Each structure stands twice: as C-alpha cells, then as structure tokens.
Amino acid sequence: MNSFNIRPATARDLPQIRSLIRSVGINPLGLAWERFIVASGGDGVVIGCGQIKPHADGSIELASIAVLSGSRRRGVAREIIMSLLAAYPGPLYLTCRARLGKFYEKFGFQTLEQDEMPPYFRRISRLVYLLRKLNLVGEDLLVMKRGS
C-alpha cells in the first residue's frame, strides 16, 4: 500500500511545488498550480508533482514530474504519471534527460527526431544542443511523444 495520496494541487501547494521543482533542477517556468497534481505524504507535505502543460503551438506536454529525493523508488513518479495520462489520454509530448528515456518508454512515449517535433520542442531541443556544445549542460535532452 502506498504511503502517499495523489490529489489535485491547491493554491496552498504552490510554494512546495516551486521548491520541489527547484530542488530537482528542472524548468521552473509555467508552474500554474491549477494544472498540477501532487503526491502528498500522511503529513500533507508534497513529495511529488506533475502537470499537463499546453503550449502556444497547440502541443501539450507532460511536464514538471518531480519527486523529493527521500521519496524516490516508491512508485511516486509512476503514480503521478499514470494519473495524468488517465486524465489526458490524447497525444502528449515531454522533454527529459536522455538517461530517463527508457523510463518514459514504459508509458508509451517514443523519442522524436528534430523534424518530427512541434515548434516549441524544436526550439528547446536546439537550445539544449547549443548549451551542450558550449559545455553549459552536461546531458542530452530527449523529446518524446505518446499517441498519434
């Protein structure tokens, strides 16, 4: 049995969501609490989060998947992702560190080539490529898609 609950975020969760996003080093932009679900422990502390994030080009992203370091390997991310996918069964994109590609493949995501990406993700992919060339980031980025 899980020692956490999955629930829609509330406005009061936003400071914990922001802190969690910063602690794991992912994109801190576009953190509208209304789009988030959170995993909370029995004490009410947010131990994980995720959102479905729309972009101006019409693409929709599974985003901001984060789990506190002390709560990892307990199925928190899996439950968050499964809840978000159940709520949004349509086509979804995501960006992730290359080493996480196999994890997201378990949920039906497939890696895209540059010419298959919507404009938002193409721009992000190009930016990371340039930052990598300048040795400002240490890991490649994958853009993945689930659904047609």
For 9-47, the pLDDT digits (tens) are: 999 999 999 999 999 988 888 899 999 999 998 888 999
The pLDDT of residue 137 is: 64
CA distance 17 to 32: 10
The pLDDT of residue 87 is: 92
- Cβ neighbours of residue 106 closer than 8 Å, sequence gap 6 or more: none
The pLDDT of residue 28 is: 85
3-state secondary structure at position 6: strand
CA distance 79 to 72: 12
Residue stretches of the chain with pLDDT short of 50:
none
φ/ψ of residue 67, rounded to 5:
-135, 135
**What burial class does residue 37 get, using C-beta atoms within 10 Å of its C-beta: 0-12 exposed, 13-18 middle, 19+ buried?**
buried
Cβ atoms of 50 and 36 closer than 8 Å: yes
Q: CA nearest 14: which of 43, 66, 49?
A: 49
- What domains are defined for the chain? 1-89 (3.40.630.30), 91-148 (no CATH)
The pLDDT of residue 138 is: 67
- Cβ neighbours of residue 44 closer than 8 Å, sequence gap 6 or more: none
Which residue type, as a one-letter code, is found at position 46? Answer: V
